Chain A
């Protein structure tokens, strides 16, 4: 089915009143969840499995001098020990590149790197086996700071050197821009490593089939990434490995990287070698140590503006601290650098983004993919600038924000007014001016507490853009009962995106969402649709779903028009029926139509496909159009700071996002609230700390995520629909978006409250109190 026909089909869909899209629809999997039905990997074990865990390095950088597994092998209950020598295929477990071994060969490069696997009858035997395993390490000099790691004499973590990407933006002439500026400010911003912390720990269950196939059921975001590497590690032909995604309790990025590949490979190896089912998972502390983290960032922003607030020049230097293996670091720096100015028009931009290998913890995809960090630095900078200029922070933003006709830092032209509408709505809903005055009044009269209001704006390039080929595949089939089965390699793990796909299909075929059945992602049953990342499922997957629906329509329409005696363009699919426009009595039920088609020997099985246009930009100057469209947003936060304890309470958040088209409003509501709360964690409590490369904040006692009592009492939200160019029905990426702005928005609110801009997260009590002492406003009873 050609692009033109699909577009026309979508136009028809868009033109009418929606029947299911945009209405309140329950998530397709909500019933199973509230009933506690078994659907996650460890709920599905059909027989007693071997248990597999890894022996891990306590050193951040060391040579492996020798390995002795003899004591391990004699532990009661230990069944197998696997080192790199026992890997039948290729020792490769990088999620995108091939630089990372599954099991270390002669060297370990981070704390927790896996050296060997112990397979046993139960957890206790495996734990004892791991404790008995002997590795002789020779510690090597390690490097943890990205600037240090770039020096010529720094320890070389990989052969080719520690710099894995240098992204540039060269727009206009920054020196001229700074010269022409009335005000120039320069600040450094820091965000630490953080952890996505999906509540369900990575887990994989693998078992051998009679024909030699290894089937693996697991918790993950990208079944084909897992499949490709497991197949490679086992050295098996493609048809002898099968990967199925079970219901997955949270992804947030880490489950699209190395850790799901690891557990799947561990379980598959154990199952393959021992011809028995095997289960591999982590303890919570282990998971936090080894899953890929949000990179730590150091960003220097230099900004020049006229005295009336027009941005003239912007220079950013961004250092992304990567772990020792690529994972996705070379791509995260790209997104961060491209968004380094925030959503503003700046005529002269110079940016250098460096992604650097270190012996810190593994880092990779984490919700936002560099955008939250870049926006923290850009948006606090804007507030500092506003203060310097004596301008209201909202006013400064409105003066410079991207509007139709604006050019971004990469000189991409913005055509839609999404940001303008978001800002207008956020200002209105948050009662910005009024509340600002109220809080300032409160601050004049209160002793112990100070309140503040802060705003931050975002733009977010959709969807993969420079990060890869942006396509998707969705399979549809219809059975005799008129039930539509939707199967895709795109995965659900909390975003609600697959419900959106079901909604789109239901809308296109005029049936109830309940009649769309989602089958599990199974590498044997679907073609590789690319990864479920970058918030692209609704946008790109949605187009593929609509393509599939259109293809079904192409089969059914001729039959219906014949039966109803009308033209094909007079057919209306609605309420489970197919009818003639303007003559509802001439109709046939969808189910009956399907029965007829099947009776005629037609195969109601289609594959929908969509690929977004490749994006182009110049690698030397960063100029061009790296993304096909942008999501926009504005977040206003109101806080109360306790001048005695330094504790920050978020009173209210007001979130407005341009979603392009709201396919599933109820899903969006939960997503926006939930992401705001996760972002609140980033702003106030989350930091993954290491001491000489050894994590010191593991487990929930170490790494603190928000609970119910940390949530604001109110998250007011509004959704703006400024149609995007490529997404299904104009939808824009949303899955990651709500976590991008809270750090900046809350930091700006705190600055308003205490009169000082903290430029490092988290804004934890001890850090705030230090600032209060310096300002002389710490509360003394």
Chain B
């Protein structure tokens, strides 16, 4: 099945099998290794991407469902010379431990900022509920998003 989608602003056309999932297409067909996998069942949140502006678990989405959609992965946020405020804040606040949940965590942070929701701690905490971080960096995420929302 032919799928046309935008990833981080660039258009892609890719032939996918019926049973291919978006997470695998993003990773292994299009090379976006920032999208991780941790359970395959939508429990852990590591595979999170923004699809048409909304955070979704890419391990639950057949690739053909993404036809016509706009996907943002962590690779589409900031760069080494120009970090996104959330990325800068993650570094400053020591939020990175093993690093495996960080791409998803950065995306959630960006989504909160874009939606103007970063200023309310309870909302931030709720937004991170769908992401499992075994290193326990949740409070670091909250501090980082708070820093980013202050424009720091």
CA distance A669 to B97 in the complex (A): 11
Distance in Å: Cβ of A196 to nearest Cβ of chain B: 8
| List of B residues within 8 angstroms of A715 by Cβ | 139
Report the nearest B residue to A680, measured CB to CB: B136
Residues of B contacting A284 with CB < 8 Å?
38-41, 44
- Give the size of the chain A interface in residues (CB under 8 angstroms): 57
**Which partner residue on chain A sits nearest B128 by CB separation?**
A708
Interface residues of A in 636-657 (CB under 8 A from B): none
Of the stretches A146-154, A244-252, A509-517, A594-602, the one at the interface is A244-252
A36 touches B139 (CB 8 A): no
- Interface check B125, CB cutoff 8 A: yes
Q: List 11 interface pairs A-B (beta carbons < 8 Å), by A numbering.
A: A27-B96, A29-B99, A31-B80, A34-B87, A35-B80, A199-B100, A199-B101, A249-B98, A284-B38, A670-B140, A673-B136
- Asked if B115 lies at the interface with its beta carbon under 8 angstroms from chain A, I say no
| CB-based nearest B residue for A48 | B28
Interchain CB contact under 8 A, A34 and B134: no
Q: Is A200 a contact partner of B97 (Cβ separation < 8 A)?
A: no
A458 at the interface (CB under 8 A from B): no
Contacts of A79 in B (CB 8 A): none
Q: Given the interface contacts A670-B140, A677-B136, A709-B129, does A34 sit within 8 Å of B98 by beta carbon?
A: no
Q: Is A705 in contact with chain B by the CB < 8 A criterion?
A: yes
Bin the interface of chain B by size: 35 or more
Q: Contacting A676 at CB < 8 Å: which of B33, B78, B133, B136?
A: B136
CA–CA, A35 and B106, complex, Å: 9
Given known contacts A27-B94, A34-B90, A248-B98, is B139 in contact with A700 (CB within 8 Å)?
Answer: no
Out of A33, A42, A701, name the residue touching B99 (CB < 8 Å). Answer: A33
Minimum Cβ distance to chain B for residue A666 (Å): 4
Residue in B closest to A710 when the chains form the complex, CB atoms: B138
What is the predominant secondary structure among interface residues of chain B facing chain A?
Answer: loop
- Cβ distance A671 to chain B, nearest Cβ, rounded Å: 7
Interface string of A451-463 (1 = CB under 8 A from B): 0000000000000
Please tell me if A765 contacts chain B, counting CB pairs below 8 Å.
no
The answer to whether A708 touches B131 (Cβ under 8 A) is: yes
The answer to whether A33 touches B136 (Cβ under 8 A) is no
Do B94 and A670 have beta carbons less than 8 Å apart?
yes
What 9 new A-B contacts, CB under 8 Å, besides A34-B96, A45-B28, A250-B100?
A26-B94, A27-B91, A34-B74, A35-B34, A35-B79, A38-B34, A249-B101, A670-B97, A673-B136
The reply to whether the CB of B114 lies closer than 8 angstroms to some CB of chain A is no
| A40 contacts chain B at the CB level, 8 A cutoff | yes
With the chains together, A70 CA to B15 CA distance in Å? 34
Q: Please name the residue on chain B nearest to A200 by beta carbon.
A: B100
Residues of B within 8 A of A197 (CB): 134
Q: Is A538 part of the contact surface with B, judged by Cβ < 8 Å?
A: no
What residues on A are CB-neighbors of B78 within 8 Å? 34-35
Chain B residues, Cβ within 8 Å of A37: 33-34
A:202-252 near B, CB below 8 Å: 247-252
Q: Are B97 and A699 in contact (CB under 8 A)?
A: no
Q: List the B side residues contacting A42 at CB < 8 Å.
A: 27, 33, 37
Q: Which 8 A-B pairs have the closest CB atoms?
A: A36-B34, A249-B100, A494-B98, A674-B136, A677-B136, A36-B74, A33-B99, A43-B33
Given known contacts A674-B135, A708-B141, A699 and B41 CB-to-CB distance under 8 angstroms: yes
- Tell me if B139 and A199 are in contact (CB < 8 A): no
Whether a CB of chain A sits under 8 angstroms from the CB of B58 is no
Q: Is the CB of A34 within 8 A of B91?
A: yes
B96 touches A673 (CB 8 A): no
Tell me if B39 and A699 are in contact (CB < 8 A).
Answer: yes
Contact A700 B91 (CB under 8 A): no
In the complex, which residue of chain A has the Cβ closest to the Cβ of B87?
A34
Q: Does B73 contact A (CB under 8 A)?
A: yes
Q: Are B95 and A709 in contact (CB under 8 A)?
A: no
Chain B positions within 8 Å of A173 at CB level: none
CB of A75 to closest CB in B, whole Å: 17
Q: Is A368 on the interface with B (CB-CB < 8 A)? A: no
Let me know if A482 is at the binding interface, CB within 8 A.
no
Which residues of the partner chain A approach B99 to less than 8 Å between Cβ atoms? 29-30, 32-33, 39, 247, 249, 494
Q: Which of A16-54 contact B (CB under 8 A)?
A: 26-27, 29-40, 42-43, 45
The answer for the CA separation of A207 and B131 in the assembled complex, in Å, is 33
A562 to B137, CA, bound (A): 49
A711 in contact with B132 (CB, 8 Å): no
- Any chain A CB within 8 A of the CB of B2? no
Closest residue of chain B to A496 (Cβ to Cβ) is: B97
Nearest-neighbour CB distance to chain A for B8, whole angstroms, equals: 11
What separation, in Å, do the CA atoms of A678 and B134 have in the docked complex? 7
Residues of A with C-beta under 8 A to B38: 199-201, 284
Q: State whether A30 touches B43 (Cβ < 8 A).
A: no
Q: Does B139 contact A711, Cβ atoms closer than 8 Å?
A: yes
Q: Are A283 and B98 in contact (CB under 8 A)?
A: no
Alpha-carbon separation in the docked complex, A250 to B134 (Å)? 8
Contact of A36 among B28, B33, B134 (CB under 8 A): B33
- By the criterion CB–CB under 8 Å, are A666 and B94 in contact? yes
A285 (CB) vs chain B CBs: closest residue: B39
Q: A34-B106, A36-B102 are in contact. Are A701 and B94 (CB under 8 A)?
A: no
Let me know if B120 is at the binding interface, CB within 8 A: no
CB B125 to nearest CB in A, in angstroms, measures 5
Known contacts A34-B83, A35-B79, A670-B94; A700/B41 CB under 8 A: yes
A530 within 8 A of B: no
- Does A675 count as interface, using CB distance less than 8 angstroms? yes
Most A-side CB within 10 Å, residue of B38, B94, B129: B94
- Asked whether A34 and B94 contact (CB < 8 A) given A200-B38, A250-B135, the answer is no
